[in-house]
Copies of this chain bind each other. A is one copy, B any other.
Amino acid sequence: MARTQGSHSDITGPRVRTAALKLFAQHGFAAVSMRQIAREVGVQAGALYNYTPDKQSLLFDLMNTHMGELLASRADLPDDATPLQALETFTRFHIRFHSERPEEVFIAYMELRNLSEDNFARIEGLRRTYEDQLEVILRAGMAEGVFHVADPKLATMAVIAMLTGVNTWFREGGRLSLEEVEQIYWDMVRKSVGA
C-alpha cells in the first residue's frame, strides 16, 4: 500500500507544483482555489488532498523547494579561491539561477505575506543563510583589503537586489545575451564593493 501511495505521489507531486506555480504567479495565491489547481492538473479536487493538506502547504512547498534548490545549486569553489573569485562566481550564479525561474522568483517575493508565521520564519531562515554566504565573501575581501565596503550587510542586500532585478527586464533574444549581461553586472558589482 505504502508503495502505491508513494508512486502516486511521485507522479502527481511535480504536476501539482507546476500547476500551483503557474496559477499563483498568474492570479496571486489568494485568488486561486484548490478546485482551480485540481482542474489545471486534471484531477478531482478531492484527489488533490492526497498530495497536499491545503493551499498553505502548497505555497510553502513551492518556496521551500525554490530556496532549497538555490542553496544546493551553488558550486563548490576551490579552497584557494580569492574573495574576488568567490564574488564573481556568486554574481554569475545568482543571475543565471534566477533568470531561469521567473515565476518562482516572483512568488518568493510577492507571496511572503501569505505564509503562516511558522512557514515565514522557515523561508526567512533559508533566505538569511543565502545572504550570509555573500556577506562572508564580502567580509573576507574586506579583511584582505581588496573590498572597500562601508557596511557588509547593506552591501549584501544591495548586490542581491541589483542582480535579482535582471529578471524584471531581461528577455532571451533581446539586445544582449545573458552571458553579456552577466559580464556587465559583474563589472558593476566589483566596482560597487570597491574592488
Contacts and interface: CB of A to CB of B under 8 A. Distances in A.
Interface in A138-195: 148, 150-151, 154-155, 157-162, 164-166, 168-169, 176, 181, 183-185, 187-189, 191-194
Interface residues of A, number: 37
B161 A168 contact: yes
A158 B95 CA distance: 12
A65 interface: no
A30 interface: yes
Contacts of A169: 157
Could you say which of A151, A183, A193 has the most chain B C-beta atoms within 10 Å of its C-beta?
A151
A15 to B, nearest CB: 23
By secondary structure, the A interface counts as helix
A125 interface: no
Nearest to A157: B169
Interface string A62-102: 00000000000000000000000000000000000000000
A155 B188 contact: yes
Given A161-B165, A184-B154, A28 B29 contact: yes
Nearest to A186: B150
Contact of A154 (B26, B109, B181): B181
A58 to B, nearest CB: 16
Contacts of A188: 150, 154-155, 158, 192-193
A1 to B, nearest CB: 39
A3 interface: no
